[in-house]
């Protein structure tokens, strides 16, 4: 599975020549191909699987968009590009890519219209009370931490999860529609073509690719550019070990088989830089239905570590990266209800002290935590972690229970966020920050809008948004 | 400052040809040069500064060695390669490089003798009670978390900080001696030579370098190999932002000016892989003198987050990476003493509640933490964080004080640990894990023995140890 660079001098002749080659047909690849073809470039899409779809087709299909999209307006929500920008800049990790976030927010309304124009349907109904994909075919949901501390004080909240109109996992519908649009376009799709090397001209620019098609080696020249839209690397254990070792402990790896980092390595082999390779989206869906946000999440010291109303992406990142994946959601009998995502009850006790013993936590630890929480909750607030008062209620009614949120017994769903370093036009940069001529990338093969503190829909969102730009620029328009 | 790859075809003629070129004359470069020259290879060392030394000469000069070195024996300590191996495997981060650690521990006794043979003096006296460099010229100290939970239960503790015989910072002595050894060897040192590109042959192997010498461009061929020993990237803000953004908040960046990642980028430009680029050593020297370990360290929630007897590297990593660099060391009047590393007192109070208010911590948070700590401390133990009982004593005597350990007002000393992916022989690997012919690296330009949970002396230790191996292998022996 060697991804290499091959000098153009080693290629005796090219089997074929086109303007733009797109590598991978997930959401980012479809967007790149559609725009490259629409720009008049002869476009060839190489997909290593038997057909398009990739990880995007396995996803919840949520697109994080805002700034006042037609869907937000139809559902009665106001939003601005500024509010979206402020939320993203504050929430997506320690080193947000400001230029990308600026463009993404400013272009979000137009981008929604483009997605709709490709034939993706959205039902103009807001679904309240879930985080991420709704159980209905409704079109708009909350899919981040917009309503929670500290973000609710930084930016006016609005729901920005745009969900195609299908019940449950809507990724297949999204991708069926986008792939159909590619098929109907002038772009050509070649399935079962696995790219093994980039071809490099003597000036360092990328001139084409070498692909394997059922054992046959094909040399393909790209007159204008190669666009890598190959996904992340959550299925590559060596790369996880080298860059994000904790992610290996997640029992759900969100990604098609092809998410083995091949495109990232193709880029690196020609001198591309990478960014934030340690960044991972880790989702811990522990607080659905929302009533469970009234519980308190504690670690192996019996201490709280986050406002429990934070989004799953924040819960998972905090629990795994900072508290060793050792977490329990503590509820009393009043708060108890059946979790949407099944998880075992780790222990039950008539008193906090008994629950603490049953969980094997240090004596006095959990009981002190609950005493402090209740002392403030009786006054309806949470000065320690600033959970929203709508979820603050004393936990006093026995029996007390602990839902198991450890990596061993709970869903932790992971995918990688780091990748090739690209500019806002999808140009891949070298280690000096200069674009490598002829090489573009988008989607999770790149470091994108989120490098932490994930909100659902940011990958399909930025993959399609910057995929379009990469396709257009590669085509030379 | 562009680090690039240049095809050998673009080099009209080489100004000079040698067997081995070593880039950078810190500890790793000196070790590589000495061994390459001793192997009979014509060896040229290119140093961008006016003379050798680099970051190593600015360091405390501690070498982390063990397994029963002559110095450990002279000081009356028993140690084994197994105990050292078990400690390192448990402490140096989430993805320890097992093959490197194995070799390093097995070869540590011989390596100490080699360092001594180069002329570096060590006084066979153990200095008790400090962490890292002693205030005397004594030779052996504790320089890690060996005696603390959980490591003391994993491996038999032994002091492994080997300190050259000079008062205070001993890095200058170490480097003066190693550079003198290089000068006395057959290796040639060329100062004020900055390498700007690696020269690559048509088969992808590294054939030499292009260097700048006061504006003159020199092409230098290396018949057998180029060894990159250029240090880390703590002085490159862009690279920190892209890989380890929190490190930018550290007010002490441990590194010579040359620690700008140039060698890492030279390697990447020819397709080298990197590992653990997010890993940073962050030292928070808050518990010297050791009596201060009897205090409790709390975060912005007033909660403890570590056993306070852990080594500075663990304190700093935990405080900055996991608790946002918001930390205070709480003491009572009995525990209070003047810290070795000056730091302001953030607040004083007659009661824990008053101290809590003065610090602006949430009501009841710090006082609950102290109540729980004292409840157990009265029985002489710490079941919550397992601090060693020798440092566990109730904090009950007013007034109470808080030493400021925030990033704003306390030393946080940082240097980078991630870098080029090398095998145990110092061969630089490409993104497929295959060695790039002709390219070697050692020291902090590479990902080494520690990728977290730092113990002092591991960088000088693994830099010289694997520098020697890289020099020998590059020389072809």
Structure confidence by residue, pLDDT tens digits, B21-80: 999 999 999 999 999 999 999 999 999 999 999 999 999 999 999 999 999 999 999 999
- Asked if B202 and A7 come within 8 Å (Cβ–Cβ), the reply is yes
Domain identity same for B355 and B458: no
B26 Cβ contact partners less than 8 Å away, ≥ 6 residues apart: B52, B53, B54, B55, B56, B57, B175, B229, B231, B256, B443, B463
Find how far residue A272's CA is from the centre of its chain.
22
Q: Which residues of chain A have pLDDT under 50?
A: 1
User: What integer pLDDT is reported at residue A167 of this predicted model?
Assistant: 83
Domain identity same for B289 and B257: no
Specify the long-range contacts of residues B134-137, CB closer than 8 Å, at least 24 apart. B134/B163, B135/B167, B135/B168, B136/B167, B137/B165, B137/B166, B137/B167
Of the three residues B344, B370, B404, the one that is the final residue of a domain is: B404
Choose between B360 and A340: higher pLDDT: B360
- Asked if A242 and B95 come within 8 Å (Cβ–Cβ), the reply is yes
Domain identity same for A252 and A357: no
Please write the tens of the pLDDT for every residue from B437-446.
Answer: 999 999 999 9
Domain identity same for A215 and A241: yes
Question: Which value does ipTM take for this structure?
Answer: 0.94
Give the CATH number of the domain where residue A10 resides.
3.50.50.60
The two beta strands, A140-142 and A4-7, are unpaired
pTM: 0.95
- The answer, yes or no, to whether residue B340 has pLDDT greater than 50, is yes
Please write the tens of the pLDDT for every residue from B449-477.
Answer: 999 989 999 999 999 999 999 999 999 96
Rg (alpha carbons) of chain B, rounded to whole number:
23
Domain identity same for A104 and A222: yes
Is residue B60 in a domain?
Answer: yes
**Residue B30 to residue B116: CA distance in whole angstroms:** 14
* Cβ-nearest to B269 among A4, A303, A431: A431
Q: Tell me how crowded residue A167 is: count the other CB atoms within 10 A of its CB.
A: 12
Give the CATH number of the domain where residue A324 resides.
3.90.700.10
Question: Å from A335 to nearest chain B CA?
Answer: 24
User: What integer pLDDT is reported at residue A1 of this predicted model?
Assistant: 44
B99 Cβ contact partners less than 8 Å away, ≥ 6 residues apart: B423, B424
Q: Tell me how crowded residue B166 is: count the other CB atoms within 10 A of its CB.
A: 18
By C-alpha distance, which of B410, B414, B244 is closest to B327? B410
Instruction: Show the domain range for B339.
Output: 285-404
Q: State the average pLDDT over residues B128-136.
A: 87
Please write the tens of the pLDDT for every residue from B385-410.
Answer: 999 999 999 999 999 999 999 999 99
**Residue B396 to residue B336: CA distance in whole angstroms:** 12
User: What integer pLDDT is reported at residue B3 of this predicted model?
Assistant: 64
Is residue B1 in a domain?
Answer: yes
Domain identity same for B432 and B399: no
* Cβ-nearest to B271 among A269, A322, A434: A269
User: What integer pLDDT is reported at residue A403 of this predicted model?
Assistant: 98
Of the three residues B404, B435, B458, the one that is the final residue of a domain is: B404
Domain identity same for B366 and B293: yes
Nearest chain A residue to B372 by CA: give it.
A364
Instruction: Give φ, ψ of B232 to 5 degrees.
Output: -85, -155
Domain identity same for A155 and A227: yes
Token pair of B111 as six digits: 């390596």
Please write the tens of the pLDDT for every residue from B176-197.
Answer: 999 999 999 999 999 999 999 9
Nearest chain A residue to B322 by CA: give it.
A322
Beta carbons of B220 and B190 less than 8 angstroms apart: no
User: What integer pLDDT is reported at residue A3 of this predicted model?
Assistant: 64
- Provide the domain count of chain A: 2
- Asked if B301 and A385 come within 8 Å (Cβ–Cβ), the reply is yes
Of the three residues A355, A386, A404, the one that is the final residue of a domain is: A404
User: What integer pLDDT is reported at residue B4 of this predicted model?
Assistant: 74
* Cβ-nearest to B3 among A95, A368, A432: A432
- Stretch (H or E) spanning B16: strand B16-23
Question: What percent of chain B shows pLDDT beyond 70?
Answer: 99
Instruction: Give φ, ψ of B211 to 5 degrees.
Output: -125, 150
Domain identity same for B46 and B174: yes
User: What integer pLDDT is reported at residue A142 of this predicted model?
Assistant: 96
Question: Å from A468 to nearest chain B CA?
Answer: 24
User: What integer pLDDT is reported at residue B1 of this predicted model?
Assistant: 44
């Amino acid at each position: 599975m060697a991804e290499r660079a091959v000098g153009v001098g080693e290629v005796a002749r090219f089997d074929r020549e086109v303007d733009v080659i797109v590598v991978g047909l997930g959401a980012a690849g479809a967007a790149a191909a559609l725009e490259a073809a629409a720009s008049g470039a002869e476009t060839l899409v190489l997909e290593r699987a038997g057909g398009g779809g990739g990880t995007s087709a396995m996803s919840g299909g949520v697109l994080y968009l805002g700034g006042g999209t037609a869907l937000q307006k139809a559902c009665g929500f106001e939003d601005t590009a500024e509010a979206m920008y402020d939320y993203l800049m504050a929430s997506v990790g320690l080193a947000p890519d400001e230029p990308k976030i600026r463009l993404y927010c400013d272009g979000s309304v137009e981008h929604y219209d483009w997605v709709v124009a490709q034939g993706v349907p959205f039902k103009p109904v807001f679904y309240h009370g879930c985080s991420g994909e709704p159980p209905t075919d409704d079109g708009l949901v909350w899919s981040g931490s917009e309503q929670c501390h500290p973000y609710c004080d930084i930016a006016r909240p609005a729901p920005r999860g745009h969900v195609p109109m299908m019940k449950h996992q809507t990724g297949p519908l999204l991708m069926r529609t986008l792939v159909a649009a590619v098929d109907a376009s002038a772009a050509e799709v070649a399935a079962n073509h696995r790219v093994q090397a980039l071809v490099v001209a003597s000036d360092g620019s990328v001139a084409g690719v070498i692909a394997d098609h059922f054992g046959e080696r094909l040399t393909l020249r790209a007159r204008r550019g190669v666009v890598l839209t190959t996904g992340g690397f959550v299925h590559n254990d060596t790369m996880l070990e080298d860059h994000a070792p904790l992610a290996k402990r997640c029992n759900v790896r969100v990604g098609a088989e092809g998410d083995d980092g091949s495109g990232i390595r193709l880029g690196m082999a020609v001198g591309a830089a990478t960014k934030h390779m340690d960044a991972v989206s880790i989702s811990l869906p522990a607080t659905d239905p929302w009533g469970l946000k009234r519980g308190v999440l504690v670690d192996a010291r019996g201490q709280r570590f986050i406002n429990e109303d934070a989004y799953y992406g924040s819960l998972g990142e905090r629990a795994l990266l900072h508290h060793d994946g050792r977490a329990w959601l503590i509820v009393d009998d009043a708060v108890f209800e059946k979790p949407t995502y099944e998880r075992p009850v780790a222990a039950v006790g008539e008193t906090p002290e008994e629950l603490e013993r049953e969980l094997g936590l240090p004596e006095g630890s959990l009981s002190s935590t609950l005493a402090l929480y209740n002392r403030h909750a009786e006054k309806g607030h949470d000065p320690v972690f600033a959970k929203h008062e709508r979820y603050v209620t004393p936990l006093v009614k026995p029996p007390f229970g602990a839902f198991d949120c450890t990596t061993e017994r709970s869903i932790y769903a992971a995918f990688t966020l780091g990748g090739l370093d690209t500019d806002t036009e999808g140009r891949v940069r070298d280690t000096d920050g200069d674009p490598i001529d002829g090489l573009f990338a988008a989607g999770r093969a790149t470091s994108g809008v989120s490098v932490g503190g994930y909100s659902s829909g940011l990958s399909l969102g930025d993959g399609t948004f910057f995929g379009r730009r990469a396709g257009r620029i590669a085509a030379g328009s």
